[in-house]
Structure 1
Amino acid sequence: MNRLKDATSPYLLQHADNPVEWFPWGDEAFAEARRRDVPLLISVGYSACHWCHVMAHESFEDEGTAALMNERFVNVKVDREERPDVDAVYMSATQAMNGHGGWPMTVFATPEGHPFYTGTYFPRQQFQRLLTGVSNAWTGDRAAVLEQGSKIVEALNERSALPSGPLPTPDTLARAVRSLAGSFDAERGGFGGAPKFPPSMALEFLLRHAAAQAAGAARDDAARDDAAGEGSGEEAGATGEAAAAMAVHTLEAMARGGIYDQLAGGFARYSVDADWVVPHFEKMLYDNALLLRVYAHWWRVTGSVLGRRIALETADWLLAEMRTPEGGFASALDADSEGEEGKFYVWSPEELREVLGEEDGDWAIGLFEVTGTFEHGTSVLQLRQDPDDPERFARVRSALLAARAGRVRPGRDDKVVAAWNGLAVAALAEAGALFDRPDLVEAARRAATLVDELHLDGDRLLRTSRDGRAGANAGVLEDYADLAEGLLALYGVTGEVRWFRRAGTLLDAILERFSDGAGGFYDTAEDGERLFQRPQDPTDNATPSGQFAAAGALLSYAALTGSARHREAAEAALGTVTVLADRHARFAGWGLAAAQAAVSGPIEVAVVGPAGDPATAALHRTALLSPLPGLVVALGEGDPGGGDSGGGDSGEVPLLQGRGPVGGEPAAYVCRGFTCRMPVTTPAALLAELAAGA
């Protein structure tokens, strides 16, 4: 029976025609397992997962294997991207039982959902033996199986939450830099060995820390020690230099390696080697949104030409390849095409000569380091140095893109995930403002509008949609937090108060429905579906942890509103960072970035003046170009009287209240904790005030 045909998940739809009688996750599957008195077989994966495809072809499309599954189990297919909560609880069990996890994840569970045997990918013959063995154990030694499931659930639920501590201090952040330095690959960039994942959240922290130290160094020693709040003397300067060096080396190495698509832009999920050469070829929205923002911030901190190029190419790739007809952004591009991983992206020397001709082909072979070391004599393209002939490079690149367009493209998972679209909204809005690209801001606005109008019902957020139809799965903490982060960034760029207002609604929902009562947050709402464990993971993974994302958004909102409630909640949630900073800083990057903003203030800038006035725009752009950690910008027409004087936004954005133009001229107010310095009316004066207030 085809129970997946109406799914909004492309991953589930990939399995809709399997001979396996799949159930989607839900009450029907559990009821059927109880009725038949058989275990659940829960298979968790996602559409861009290479080994998920392999197991599907080997086992789930095989009539004999499917018959065994159907006879002895109730089979449940789960898209981990739609149900991260289900994935999280069973991944905890898988890691506890096996010492490692991964996808596809294979879980055998009681009809109550309690796992008793878990694994990942199994080749067909091994999988068939496993199916028989588990079924025999269920029928022949039921008591032992049930006891195993109960013990696992009990052990997982007894795990204490990660301890918390006080709000991170400047010394905490300096220790985190030293912790990151301890695992830094000074030769190749990045942290640790192979495989290497883009450390987006840690890079954001390092750039913020470097910017904070640079701001302190720009003042005289006495003023820095008294006012900067960032440490002092040579030690503070040293951590700033170390942070900048690690960030720059990693950003450059990734941009020049095979993990980056040198023709069309966009980053692959990770590199299987330590040199960033051989990618695992799927491209994920969340990676590229995070990296777009980090590369734009690299340019903002240092003026890097490479950072600007990579940011803009990644933004253009998002618009060209990932935008959906409804205005949102799709989840992922597959690793495979024509049944082969990476086939769309790799080239042989002969192919380059065929497309480009002998002379340009040989030049491209050397430039892109195409040595034929992959399967079938192919290579991924690298660009370890800038071409000596930019016009020739542009011609070659255009020809190769045109030739590649004729290949079979990887599949696209076109579901819209609220959290990842929130990350894209933040990145595109900021990049559009920094690089004077109104089309990027408009793309951010369209994505925000889609999620706002389709995924939200009051303060209830649905995680996914597809083809303009919302899915049924409730949003989790990262959806609320990342979307709030994106909407606050979009408000800061556009001054459109609807985004500020909606962010406040989302953050209030977090405080009311996700709190653990001890300063942290659960990953699911208190009134959501009850699993055997309520997931709570404060550490970063491929995306910022929900807790750290919530802390960052709460901090920004507090800076715009003066709300002690939101500020205190942010600081409490950041207590975990203090515990992680010394030994596990790699898994707390987003929390460290938020903590750096908290330690630095963050600085608040109110820009007031008529919309469309060039003087207002100049002040606004100056504020947005500041690299000060976590700086927030409020934009409106101003409210010199302290109430809503008809300017529109000032009555709803407290940072604008009581602040108006000066002498009829647009003005900017630099504040910290709602205590403001004297307003200024020129970009040069605003730069001076930002330097003095940092």
Structure 2
Amino acid sequence: MSSTTNATSHGGGGRLNRLAKAKSPYLLQHAENPVDWYEWTPEAFEKAKREDKPIFLSVGYSACHWCHVLAHESFEDEVTAKLMNERYVNIKVDREERPDVDRLYMTFLQATSGGGGWPMSVWLTPDLHPFFAGTYFPKGQFRQILEKLADFWDDDKERLIENGKDVIEQLRSNSELAPGDKQLDLPHLSGQVYKRLERLYDNEHGGFGGAPKFPSPAQTMHFLARLAALDMKNEKRRSEAERARDMAVQTMVKIYNGGIRDVVGGGFSRYSVDNHWHVPHFEKMLYDEAQLLSSALELAQLLPADSADRKTLEAMAIDIITYVARDLRSPEGGFYSAEDADSLPTKDSTVKKEGAFYVWTAAELGELLSEHAEMFGFHYGVEKDGNCDPKHDVQGELKGQNVLYVAHTVEETSSKFGVPPEQVQVTLDKCLALLKEHRDKNRPRPHLDDKIVTCWNGLMISGLAKASEVLDGQSTDALELAEASAVFIKKNLYDETTGELRRTYREGPGPTGQADDYAFLIQGLLDLYEASGKEEYVTWAIRLQDKQDELFYDTEGGGYFASAPDPHILVRMKDAQDGAEPSAASISLYNLHRLAHIAEDRHAQYHERAAGVLRTHGQLLEHAPFALATMLSAALLAQRGLRQFVVSGAAEDTATGALLRAVRAHFVPGRVLLHLDPRRPPRELAALNGTLRALVDDPSNARPNVRLCENFTCGLPVYDPGALTLA
């Protein structure tokens, strides 16, 4: 069957459109639509020009609940599809595969509507200039908009074409950032961000602002942890540092105890629709798990070892690792992208519901847990008629259901039922195991987006590398998991010959890598080097930074473009604002400062690139520092000064291990850890690092020791872990 014939067939008879040949799980979800979908390809653009039709661009991702709703209501509807096919060229894009497409048109959507989100619906001229955009539209409204815009195109296309051109020129003009021309007052800007977060902080429930509530580690926890660590021992700023730490810690504890955590199977949903972390939007994203893992570990290190909150944060980290290793890991070691919000309630069901895999009726729990149901229900907030407020359940899918959350502490449960706390915990654990077994056997799992995204694996490598340092035996496989992900990427998503990355893998490598793929993976490899001591990871990171500079650095204007060169991306943008993930520019700034202390012979080169990043985004950083909190914390760290900890000694030597534990005992955000095993000297790295070259044959290395180096000048070797000063 020809592709043209195949493209116009539809799901009514089980026939497929051209998306059946796609690799993206999101696109494959639309392979049976009666819509004549194209991928983002020249073939689609040429068709639009040839037939003089506008383009309807639909952008989403496979775990997106409202994307599914729009598809069921409109894209699976024969009448709507006929209208779309006759009057438009229709393009479907997975935002996770093509963030460059998403970024450009999301900027237009946000500029014209004041908001954004997915599904994103954009109407374009055949030259890819946008003239109208929105998100989810109900079925009737969506069809009306399609008809009106198509009529407008027929009646006054020249006006739409001119408007579209003007839009692109405006976006291009806005993307040409005016560099900052003065020295930034970083402590002042940091104080502004802190004051804003303190003003927004919810003292009762944690988090910043009202519903819906996102964990937003890149915008909040990452910044607050660094602010706290930098200023905790400064008499003038200690109270602010402690408040920064406590806001972040209490937010994380509330998240852990809320319904946003899958208490039965582990892992965290993307956000809660209420203000107290109870009713989640149920999809689970790898990038959220990774960032929450890193934040939990960093904040745990800011607390005393016997702190109850520290134990909760460590449990949170273990929960994430357990979930990701079990449910989001490919057999080859890479990590999958996401699990869907929607699923079938039972194996016999035909209609998916949001959260069906995760929620429970009181009657169901009573039947499964018998004599333990009352205790379990008290502890986890179970109510007879369900515990989900109807105002947070707009589609009525959670009526009568319970989203489990920690409603009472173990001690409170112990007091109510007259059972020792230890026995309460044993009973609760048994109940959770029973529920997991029942759920796994009787409920269809949500759809798994099994594409492997390079940048998100980079974030997870960072989290796992930190876990191997912080948890100290509580999660024995964290380092192994991180290394397996790195091996997978190098084998499947990296071209040794060209040094280039691909962005995604599913049945083979996908589109070309974007700036965040390089930046997040470089960060992950640097963290993995510090955790493992294996030189191969840091030398690969250095090569990737060279390639990122070649492909993405703007030698004329400074800073990094977010997207790879592509003639069909009309504006290459330099986006530095934090979102669900930190920006590539911000992580690159941190990477460059770290690399300047790792490959210190290239210090001037890395410093120049870093200065270019900060200069490029200086004006925005000065006027809206809260939007660039990750970049601000990276700049502040560099201003305070990064420090090298050179640990000399064989990795298997117990004395070396004791020194490493001392170095890793606290969160030191400006730490650069260098490993020097005299029996296996890091020759390739030493060729780029004068400090290591000088120390390779130093006779003082006959015993394991640590040297603390500042401004590339090292102090005397420290042999006693107790004498090591990290402040």
Q: TM-score, structure 2 length as denominator? A: 0.87
Map residues 511-530 of structure 1 onto 2, 5 A cutoff.
Answer: 511-516=549-554, 517-525=556-564, 527-530=565-568
The yes-or-no answer on 1:330 pairing with 2:336 is yes
- Corresponding position of 1:477: 515
1:663–1:561 distance in 2 versus 1, CA, 3 Å? closer
The yes-or-no answer on 1:440 pairing with 2:481 is: no
Structure 2 counterparts to residues 258-657 of structure 1, below 5 A? 258-302=259-303, 303=305, 304-338=310-344, 339-357=352-370, 359-371=371-383, 372-374=386-388, 375-387=398-410, 388=421, 389-405=424-440, 406-435=442-471, 436=473, 437-457=475-495, 458-467=498-507, 469-471=508-510, 473-516=511-554, 517-525=556-564, 527-562=565-600, 563-574=603-614, 584-638=624-678, 650-651=686-687, 655-657=691-693
Code of the residue aligned with 2:311 in structure 1: it is V
* Contact kept in structure 2, 1:600 and 1:629, CA below 8 Å: no
CA gap of 1:583–1:112, structure 2 versus 1, over 3 A, is: closer
Partners of 1:683 and 1:189 in 2: CA distance:
37
Residue 229 (structure 1) aligns with: none
Report the alpha carbon displacement of residue 312 of structure 1 after superposing the two structures with TM.
Answer: 0.8
1:113-143, CA deviations, whole angstroms, 9 ceiling, x for partnerless residues?
Answer: 0111211112222222222222211112121
1:596-638 deviation per Cα after TM superposition (whole angstroms, max 9, x unaligned): 4213321211112123222222222322333111312111314
Distance in 2 separating the partners of 1:571 and 1:203 = 25
Counterpart position of 1:221: none
Aligned residue type for 1:274: N
* Distance in 2 (alpha carbons) for counterparts of 1:655 and 1:394: 51
Distance 1:11 1:168, change over 3 A: farther
Deviates more, 1:86-95 or 1:564-573: 564-573
Q: Which runs of 5 or more residues in structure 2 are unaligned? A: 1-6, 8-16, 345-351, 389-397, 411-420
Contact 2:341 2:446 in 1 (8 A): yes
The verdict on how the C-alpha distance between 1:64 and 1:654 changes in structure 2, with shifts beyond 3 A counting, is farther
Alpha-carbon displacement from aligned partner over 1:371-422 (angstroms, at most 9, x marks no partner): 2133331121111443232212211221121122121111110101111000
Deviation of 1:105 after TM superposition, in Å, equals: 0.9
Partner of 2:148: 133
Query: Residues 580 and 143 from structure 1, CA distance in 2 versus in 1: closer, same or farther, beyond 3 angstroms?
Result: closer
Contact 2:192 2:625 in 1 (8 A): no
For residues 436-479 of structure 1, the C-alpha deviation after alignment (integer angstroms, 9 at most, x for no partner) is 33411111101111112211123211110014x101x1111111
Shift of 1:369: 0.8
The CA deviation at 1:204 is 1.7
- Among 173, 178, 194, the alignment partner of 2:190 is 173
Q: Which moved more, 1:189-198 or 1:116-125?
A: 116-125
Secondary structure of 1:75's counterpart equals strand
On the 8 A contact 2:452/2:505 being kept in 1, the answer is yes
**Does the 8 A contact of 1:174 with 1:239 survive in 2?**
no
Equivalent residue number for residue 205 of structure 1: 223
Closer/same/farther in 2, CA of residues 536 and 577 from structure 1, 3 Å limit: closer
- CA shift, 1:510, in A, is 2.5
Aligned residue for 1:41, secondary structure, equals: strand
Aligned match of 2:199 in 141, 162, 182? 182
Q: Which moved more, 1:339-348 or 1:75-84?
A: 339-348
| 1:582 Cα deviation from its structure 2 partner | 7.3
Q: CA deviation at 1:18?
A: 1.4
Deviation at 1:168, TM superposition (A): 5.3
- The residue identity in structure 1 corresponding to 2:331 is P
2-structure distance, mates of 1:449, 1:621: 26
Separation in 2, partners of 1:396, 1:509 = 51
Aligned counterpart, 1:230: none
Distance in 2 of aligned mates of 1:578 and 1:145 = 35
How much does 1:595 deviate?
Answer: 2.7
Q: Is the 8 A contact 1:175 1:581 kept in 2?
A: no
**Cα offset for 1:207?**
1.3
Q: Classify 1:580/1:40 alpha carbon distance in 2 versus 1 (closer, same or farther; 3 Å).
A: closer
The aligned runs of 1:207-286 (5 Å cut-off) are: 207-214=225-232, 216-217=233-234, 233-234=235-236, 236-286=237-287
CA distance in 2, matches of 1:569, 1:649: 20
CA distance 1:318–1:162, shift in 2 (3 Å): farther
Identify if the C-alpha distance between structure 1 residues 403 and 475 changes in structure 2 by more than 3 Å, giving closer, same or farther: same
In the superposition, the TM-score normalised over structure 1's length comes to: 0.92
Cα 1:578–1:619 shift into 2, 3 Å: farther
What amino acid is aligned across from residue 328 of structure 1 in structure 2? G
Kindly state the Cα deviation for residue 593 of structure 1 after the two structures are TM-superposed: 3.1
d(CA) in 1 for partners of 2:626 and 2:186?
Answer: 18
- Aligned-partner Cα distance in 2 for 1:263–1:654: 52
CA deviation after TM superposition for structure 1 residue 654, in Å? 5.0
Secondary structure at 2:520 match in 1: helix
**Greater displacement, 406-415 / 654-663:** 654-663
Identify if the C-alpha distance between structure 1 residues 676 and 171 changes in structure 2 by more than 3 Å, giving closer, same or farther: farther
Q: 1:454 to 1:632 in 2, by over 3 A?
A: same
Q: 1:29 maps to what in 2?
A: 44
In structure 1, how many angstroms separate the alpha carbons of the residues matched to 2:684 and 2:705?
A: 17
Instruction: Kindly indicate whether the alpha-carbon contact (under 8 Å) linking 1:168 and 1:575 is maintained by their aligned counterparts in 2.
Output: no
Q: 1:646 to 1:323 in 2, by over 3 A?
A: closer
Contact 1:638 1:657 in 2 (8 A): no
Per the TM alignment, residue 277 of structure 1 is displaced from its structure 2 partner at its CA by 1.1
Cα deviation for residue 567 of structure 1 reads 2.8
Work out the CA distance in 1 between the residues paired with 2:247 and 2:240: 11
CA distance in 2, matches of 1:115, 1:25: 15
Is the partner of 1:373 in helix, strand or coil?
Answer: coil
Change (3 A) 1:345 1:582: farther
Q: Aligned partners of 2:22 and 2:678: how far apart in 1?
A: 48
* Contact 2:124 2:130 (8 Å CA) reproduced: yes
Equivalences, count: 664
Matches within 5 A, 1:59-78: 59-78=74-93
Residues 261-301 of structure 1, C-alpha deviations (whole Å, 9 max, x = no match): 12222111011111111111100000110000110112222
How far 1:671 moved relative to its partner?
A: 1.1
Residues 77-97 of structure 1, C-alpha deviations (whole Å, 9 max, x = no match): 000000001001111111222
Aligned-pair RMSD on alpha carbons? 2.1
